[in-house]
Structures are given as structure tokens and as C-alpha cells.
Structure 1
Amino acid sequence: MCTFVYVGYRGEHTFSLDRASVESGRGRCPHEPSRAFASPVIGGELYAGLTADFLGADPGVFRSMGTRSALRTEVDQRLLHDPKFVAAHLIPDNDDRDNDKAYFFFTEKVVEADSKEHAIVSRVGRVCVNDAGGQRVLVNKWSTFNKARLVCSVPGPGGIDTYFDELEDVFLLRTKDRKSPEIYALFSTVSHVFRGSAVCVYRMADIREVFNGPFAHRESPHHQWAAYEGRVPYPRPGVCPSKTTNQPRRQYGTTKDFPDEVLHFARAHPLMFQPVLPRHRRPLLVKTDLPQRLRQLVVDRVEAEDGQHDILFLGTDAGSVLKVVVIQKANSAVTEEVILEELQVFKMPVPITQMEISVKRQTLYVGSSLGVAQVRLHQCESYGTACAECCLARDPYCAWDGTACTHYQPSGKRRQRRQDVHQANPAHQCLDQNLTVDDFESVEEKVLYGAEDNSTFLECVPRSPQASVQWFVQRPPDEQRDEVKTDERILQTEQGLLFRRLHQHDAGTYYCKTLEHGFTQTVAKTALRVIPSQQLAHSLPRARLWCSSRPQHRKSKLAQAKLVLAGVDVAKKGRTGKAHSERNRVPRHAPAT
């Protein structure tokens, strides 16, 4: 027994219960909270896909809490074999409400005829909302339950595809036609060869076509699945009792009026033979190089200067969210993915368990075991202060308004607005925005002091994840800039340039340049000064003053030691101390004393 409390799934349905209406939760809520479940409310009735006992031996699809009698699936592995429910939604077939269906998305285990091991596959199942069970067969059981396989795979050579079988999350992107939402599904691979994730998009027309197609059939568990070629009784198993199923001589006002032959067939053939394939027969997005696993997915359709773009927010198991736009090439199935941002929402690397979008508030709500956080859908000001930088960001939320990178408004003034998500060509977009080469060379020069034979790091983080980084150095008195050659001693990382052991000839001015779509700009300029090891050794006795036991002199001695290591005469402190102390940096790895 459990007291039942329901929280609206995906924010679509919410309701409250007073004390008089609290009742047993058996078969209506999961008895083991750690197990996945999906539970929308449709017309005041709760539809739940869950495991209804502690041992996980009684999974099913349930309906309860309405005026009609409760329903559930039979305890039969042909219907559900160790399922993990991910999502459930009401999706109408047409304008006749009697044809409304509830769709369940889940994974389950299967055993193929040529294998003794269980494999994981993803499914979409459905039931009619007006299902009332059978009169003599399937009493108080679903009589319209069907299921089909959801395929998300990458075509490979020789017809061998790479499958992503573990369904992680499902998001319905509602359109103007409520009967035809676009279904975004996030998958991961259960392969031992590699780990990765993929997003596939499905059309409702394709899903309905599979459910209207042939049923799957096999003579025994040792036979392969084949399309059922025998006679299918009428009304077709899986259809709802409505005006379309009625005949002049036979009226089907409820599933209790269906012939027993139909119910027996439905019980024996719940699986459809054809799988549901994604749009363009391939994933929209594939990620195999991420250190974390993708867990959650929400999508926002954004109106931009060059059309509509779907922005994906992907929650990971490490507390971060990836913001991605997938750009479809014109008249082609080829896509280009652009990672706009990677947001570390939670300081602790906890899995993200829920995400919701509020288009009205332009906010993403992110949930985990630590709590709920809210994140802005766009941070246009972070893309820089120039037209070219705003254009290169390729964020459909953002556009250059003539003076700054701001939130794009379709109804705004077009004269100064610049945005190009598809091409991101700043030379073309920003030609009339006072774009000159000098604008991207005028970065503030930073001075960094490093100790010879020690390690030093030059920081440079490009604003765009898509930009490639090149380092150049200018050594006095030459004016020529040479590209920095990396080796075992000098390493280029995602955050900058690492000198594992500094040499005197490394001194010079270093330029960090980014290249994206043929556009180059300098994003960091660092003057590296190398302190010779002999001078450092000579200064060590004075540096020991940092650890003086006299607190009142510690601050002044520390300042003196900094100036000594930087090669500045302490006697000149009165004239130069302030200017140097503000911009000079102490060597990162001065020997401890």
C-alpha cells in the first residue's frame, strides 16, 4: 500500500487531491521509487507505465483514478519483458476524440532465436484512451495494446549499422498540428566496443504507418520473427472503437463489443513487424567523444533571420548541459552540429534527472538530486563586443543590432541587424559595421613572468567551441611572427599553451589566434619574460622572508620578494612599485622555502 501523489509529467497535466480522495496506490504508483516510470494524466485518469512491486517482477501499463474500471496489461513477457519506461504522451489520431491514443516509450529485453543472451531494444507502445477491456477475454486488461521497435542507427559499410538501443529520454516538439508533433528521442549505446549517444527524430506519420502494417509472428522462441501472413480479424486489433470501426450490421461502441477472436489475436500478436525508422533514416546528432553520458533532452524551436532552427539542450550525468544547434544543409540530409555552449549547472558531478523549458520566461529549468536550477536560454552578451564575434557564434537566439550582440527579435528593426546561422560569414555580414583588421589585433597585452627550468602556462580560451587555435611568437628584436612548434616540452591544450620546462629563448610576445570560417582574430596577447635560473637562485635568500614569523612585516616582505624575482630594484619601489605590482605575476612554481 502507498499513498499516491502525482506531479504533472513535462508540466502538461497537474491536479491536486484532497484527503477524501486519497486511496491505495497499488498498481498506480511505483512501489520502488528508484525504478523508472512514466505517468501522464488524460481526462482525469492516470496512465502509468511502471513496475508495481518491490522485486520488479510485475511491470505493466496501468489506468486508474477515473470513473471507469481500472485497466492494466497482462503479466506476460510477450507484452513487456523487464521494461524501463521513459515517457508517455497523449497524441490524437484525428479530430474524432474516440481515436485518441496514449503512447508509451520504453526499453525492454529480447531474446533472439540465434542467441541465448538478452539484448536491449527501444519500443513505442500505444493503447486506446477509450479501451474498456474485453467482455470474456482480457477482462480489465488492455485489449488495444501494440508495440513496435524504435530504431536509431548509423548506416555502416556493407549494410552493417551501428545501433543506439538504450532509450534515455523523449521530447515531443509540439507543432501547429496537434496530431503531428515531432518526436525527439535521445539514445545511448549498450555496446562494449565504444560509448556514445545519438538523437533521432521521428514523424508521427511513420509511427502510424508501422502500427497499420503487418504484425510480427513466430512459431516458437526458436524461430525467427516474420510478418504474419494469415487472416487478420475485424476490427483490426489495436484500433479504437469509433465511427470508423462501426458497420451497418455491427456497432462497436466499446471494446467489450469486440469479438473474442479479435482479443485472442491481440493477446498473441502485440508486436508489429516493421520498425519505426527516424527521419532521413539516420540520427540528427551523434556524439561519441564525450567524457560524460547524455541523459536528458529538451528542444526549443527558434525563429531566426534565415528560418527556423531547433536548439537541443542535452543534460549529462556530470551536472552539465550542452546547448547544440543542428544545421540542415539545403536540399540534403547532411547536417552540421554546432555546440553553442557547455554549461556546468551543478558544481558536483551529479546526473541531471529532469529538464523543462519555459519559452515565455526564456528559461531552462534543470533538476538533479541536489535541487533545481534555472539557466537562461541565451547569453548573447558573452559572445563579445563586435559584429564578427556575434556572427561567428551562430546562435539563433542572438543577433548583432548595430551596437551589441543581443537577443534576436523577429519583429525588430532589420536595418542594422546581422545574423547568419547557416554560413556565419562575418566578412559578408559585418562589412558595413566598421570591420577592420585592426579591430581584432587590439587586445590587451598581459605580462607574465616565468622561471627558467620551471613550468609556465599561457591561457587562451576561444569564445567559440568550433574555432581552431594557433599560437604565434614574436621574439625581440625581430618583428616577424613565427608559429609556435609544439613538442614534448611545449604542449597546446584546450585552455592554452603549457611550457613543461621553460628556456631563456622562450621569451617573447605570444599571440593566440582563432580561425573559424576563414576568419582570423587575435584573442590573447601575452608578453612572456623568463627569469634566469642564476638570478632566481641569487634571490632565494630574500624570498625566504615570505615565511617570516613576524606578521606585521609579512606583507611588506612579500612585496619585496616579488620585485626581486621580477628583476626590479627594490630601491626604485617608490617610483615603479605600483605600476609593476598591478600587472606582473609571480612565477607559478618558485621553489618552496
Structure 2
Amino acid sequence: MKTHSLLSLTVTLLGFLSQCLTRLTPRVSFPMGSPGRHLTRFNSHDVSNTTTLLLSEGGDMLYVGARDALLALDVSHKDAIILKTKRDWSPSDKDVEQCSMKGKKMADCPNFIRVLQYLNASHIYACGTFAFSPRCTYVDSETLSMSINPDEGRGRCPYDPYQRNTAIIVDGELYTGTVADYRGNRPVISRHLSEGRRVDLKLDDTLGWLEDPTFISSSFIPDEEKIYFFFSEVGREYDFINKFIVSRVSQICMSDIGGQRTLQRRWTTFAKAQLLCQADNELPYNVIQDIDTLPPAKGASADDTLFYGIFTSQWSVNSGQSAVCSFRLSDIKSVFSGNYKVLNRDTLQWSTRVQEKVANPGECGLHNASDNALRFVKENFLTDDSVRPVGRSLTMVSAEHKYSHLTVQRIQAANSRDYTVLFLLTESGYLHKAVLLPSGAHIIEEVKVFAQTQPIKSLKLSIPKVNTERAIYSMCPV
């Protein structure tokens, strides 16, 4: 079954919340077909692998990146999702044959669209795996017509449809986290589509700035003029027998244009820190699964921006459990402005020792810095401290459900107070709506999305002008 669903949810339940709720058991459960939670679906027999979603600013048009196709769906109607336009974008028979000759399964050789971002008011930038030879194209947002000559997609889109990636366009430039080679051994964070005096940039890959990462998300903070990337990777700073996975936040400055001699066409502002989702005296939930940004309340400082993430654990004692942690931008900035670990270039071992700072790693405006300063930031890019969650505690923990995706919203309830609401997808295909109260997190409702248990791969929250939300999600069939 291939399907898209649009869920209309009201916020009236917040007015009836009881402080006596203490367990993470849904207060109300809506089975399939329940009139209390009407599901509107879009079905098409020739559309599959719909894992990349782009919602228009007004929330009335949903662009869907699928296998060998790009769709524009009108989601402005309450009881219908209407296919406005569909554009095929598939490799030639020769492309597929070459992909197969390289040892890849035929099922993995179509074009899986993995990047969809607004380039400007009239065009979308799209990238696909294209038979393990990634390509990108400019798409007219009204007609879905594509540029005749596609761009080379290396470093912009993964080769493998199963590899996670992230992409964001800011001021016409594309910032990506993906792999830049066929075998998937060269992870890179890079900038593309730069014009004029701006140059495309990527990481210097001589010192292992990234260690087998799984990219999760990226976020632009306008007041900071920085892009933050979220991912998990092997923590080389830990000397364990087994590979220890850590969750990271990294940052780059949009003003970065590389060094004049050292780090030419390379980031001079890349820095990374560990995100520590951990309760006192317990093992950490160390593997990030998804993250969403909650902008500050009206009138508040940008430093109050919050990032809510889902984390799981590689440890068997926490197997099957999920935790949600939130991180404040001010805490992330504080860690990046602190001390950094030192990498021994001979042993490639990290250590913590007091040293004279030749430059401040992660600081914007280093393009005119001396070669000595740039060598310093090149080798000192891992912060000494970790970013700890708000309140140094977990937002919520679920032993019953393993969550895969989330989105977050701040809403005003009937009592005129603001509440933070999380929309969480379980791996078994349920949507949970949780509200965060001073007494803890409470799941106020769950909705069964599909009759048969199956994973949901994407989630977007549309907030129309009326006092309702719409959760839009995509299922990739097993």
C-alpha cells in the first residue's frame, strides 16, 4: 500500500487536561476509522517510497519526492488530498543497467528523490539518487517542469537510497550533510550554489572531522547567521572496546568563505559538540533519531530557541525505549565558546589539556586569519564540554513505544496559557500527541494511522490560520 495521510486535530483537549495524569499512557485512543479523528488519504498505485516532503509556507501545497517521480498535492481541503501535478524523473535504461553492473540491486537503481528545498519564490531545488549517480535539478513550483541539464549531485544527495541525509537552502545557497562517494565512505558537510565572490565549501577530510556519521537534520538560526547540523557518529574521543555512538550538533558560519592559503575552499568555522541526552546516574540515550526546532516565544531572545530530539540507546538495558530531550540554543553557544579537545596528529587520540588559544574555533570571520590560526581551528574542532538537556533532565521516556520522528509546536490553550505539544510517531505506525506540563509529559491522545503495522518515514506539521493543526506524514511500504 502506498499512501499519504492528512490528519485534522483540534487543540480542545488541552482545556480538559487533568493534573492527576502521571503515566505515559494515552488518555484517549482513536482506532482506525474513528469518527473522532478523521483521516484523509491520498492513494496512487504507481507512487511509492514517498519519504521526502516539502510543505508550502501557506500549508496548502505539499510537494512529495518519491521513486522516479515528483508530486504536487493540494492539501488545502478538509476532506480531500488532490493531485495537482505529477512529474516523472527517472533514469534511463542505460543508467539502470550501469547501476546493476556495478553490483547494485535493481530495486535500488531507480531515482529516489532525497532533497526538496525552496530555492526562491518560483522554484524548488530537487536532488535524487538517480541509479547511484546523484543528480539535481531546478523545478518550477507551479508546473513541476525541470531544467533540461541537471546538475551533478555529488555531495548534495546520497548515492544510496538507504542513507540518511539533510539539506537546507538559505539565501539561495544549499547546505548539505551527506556522503560524497559511491561507496559511502566520504561523509561531508558542504555548501553549494554559491555565486559571485562566494565559493562552494566543504570539510577538510584529512583529519576525520566526521566519523561514519548518520545525518539527521539541519537548522538555520537567522540571528546567529549559522547553520546547525545534527547527526550521530562514532565517538573517537572514547577509548572503548566497542564503537561508542554519540549524538552531535555541529555548526558553520554562513559568512565563511574559506582560508586564503590554509583551508582554501574548506570550512574555517566548523565545530562539533556532543549532545548528551542522559539522566543522572543512568546510561545515556546516545543515538539521535530525529530533531525539530521550536522558535522562541514572541518577544523572547533567539537564545531561547529549543531543539527537541528523539534518542534511543545502543545499550541492551535500554533496548526498545525512547527518550525525548530538549536543548537550548544558549547552552549550545556556551559549549562552542568554551574549551576544545586536542587531537594528537601522530596517534589520532583526543586529550584534554590547557593550551594557549591561537584562535577561537567556531568563530565567524576567520577568512583573514593567519595560517597558524587556521591550522589551530583545523585541529581543534571538538568541544571539551557536552551540551546537556534543559534542566539537565529528560523531557520524557517511553518504555512502551519506540519513537522514530517528532515535530513540536507551541500553542495557546483555552486558559490563555502557552503549552508545548509534541507529535510523535511510533515505529508501529501510531501518532502520539503529548503535552508538556510542569508535572511532566502526558500523552493526551494516540491515533492509529494504518490498519496494518508499518513504519512512517516523514512527518510535517501544517499550522493554518484557523485553530487546528494538520499532521502530514508519509509511509514507505515494507
TM class, shorter-chain normalised? 0.5 to 0.7
Q: Distance in 2 between matches of 1:103 and 1:277?
A: 16
Structure 1 residue ranges (4+ consecutive) displaced by more than 6 angstroms after TM superposition: 1-5, 11-14, 220-224
Kept in 2: contact 1:7–1:14 (CA 8 A): no
Match of 1:188 in 2: 312
CA distance 1:101–1:14, shift in 2 (3 Å): farther
| C-alpha displacement of 1:170 | 0.7
Match of 1:71 in 2: 201
Could you say what secondary structure the match of 2:289 adopts? strand
Kept in 2: contact 1:122–1:149 (CA 8 A): yes
Match of 2:460 in 1: 356
Q: Looking at CA atoms only, which structure, 1 or 2, has the larger radius of gyration?
A: 1
Query: Alignment partner for residue 374 of structure 2, among 263, 271, 277?
Result: 263
Match of 2:446 in 1: 342
2:323 maps to 1:198: yes
2:80 maps to 1:80: no
Match of 2:45 in 1: none
CA distance 1:36–1:13, shift in 2 (3 Å): farther
| C-alpha displacement of 1:25 | 1.2
**Higher share of residues assigned strand:** 2
CA distance 1:174–1:141, shift in 2 (3 Å): same
Match of 2:161 in 1: 33
Q: TM-score if structure 1 supplies the norm length?
A: 0.54
**Higher share of residues assigned helix:** 1
- Encode CA deviations 1:67-108: one digit per residue, 9 max, x unaligned: 1322111224531000001000111345xxxxx111000000
| C-alpha displacement of 1:113 | 5.5
Kept in 2: contact 1:354–1:368 (CA 8 A): yes
| C-alpha displacement of 1:30 | 1.2
| C-alpha displacement of 1:240 | 1.1
CA distance 1:209–1:13, shift in 2 (3 Å): farther
Kept in 2: contact 1:183–1:201 (CA 8 A): yes
Q: Distance in 1 between matches of 2:387 and 2:267?
A: 22
One-letter amino acid of the counterpart of residue 116, structure 2: V
Kept in 2: contact 1:46–1:63 (CA 8 A): yes
Q: Distance in 2 between matches of 1:230 and 1:21?
A: 51
- Ranked by relative contact order (alpha carbons within 8 Å, sequence separation 6 or more), the top structure is 2
Q: Distance in 1 between matches of 2:346 and 2:422?
A: 41
2:350 maps to 1:240: no
CA distance 1:31–1:303, shift in 2 (3 Å): same
| C-alpha displacement of 1:41 | 0.3
Q: Distance in 1 between matches of 2:276 and 2:475?
A: 29
Q: Distance in 1 between matches of 2:308 and 2:239?
A: 32
One-letter amino acid of the counterpart of residue 73, structure 1: L
Kept in 2: contact 1:13–1:41 (CA 8 A): no
One-letter amino acid of the counterpart of residue 124, structure 2: F
Query: Alignment partner for residue 476 of structure 2, among 336, 361, 369?
Result: 369
- How many residues align? The count is 339
The runs of 5 or more residues in structure 2 that have no matched partner are: 1-94, 96-110, 126-137, 139-145
Match of 1:179 in 2: 302
What does 1:239-388 align with in structure 2 at a 5 Å threshold? 239-241=363-365, 255-290=366-401, 293-304=402-413, 305=415, 307-328=417-438, 335-360=439-464, 362-370=469-477
CA distance 1:187–1:12, shift in 2 (3 Å): farther
The runs of 5 or more residues in structure 1 that have no matched partner are: 95-99, 242-254, 329-334, 372-593
Kept in 1: contact 2:395–2:440 (CA 8 A): no
2:116 maps to 1:7: yes
Q: Distance in 2 between matches of 1:338 and 1:13?
A: 42
Kept in 2: contact 1:4–1:25 (CA 8 A): no
CA distance 1:266–1:21, shift in 2 (3 Å): farther
Kept in 2: contact 1:302–1:308 (CA 8 A): yes
Q: Distance in 2 between matches of 1:141 and 1:22?
A: 25
Could you say what secondary structure the match of 1:19 adopts? coil
Match of 1:136 in 2: 261
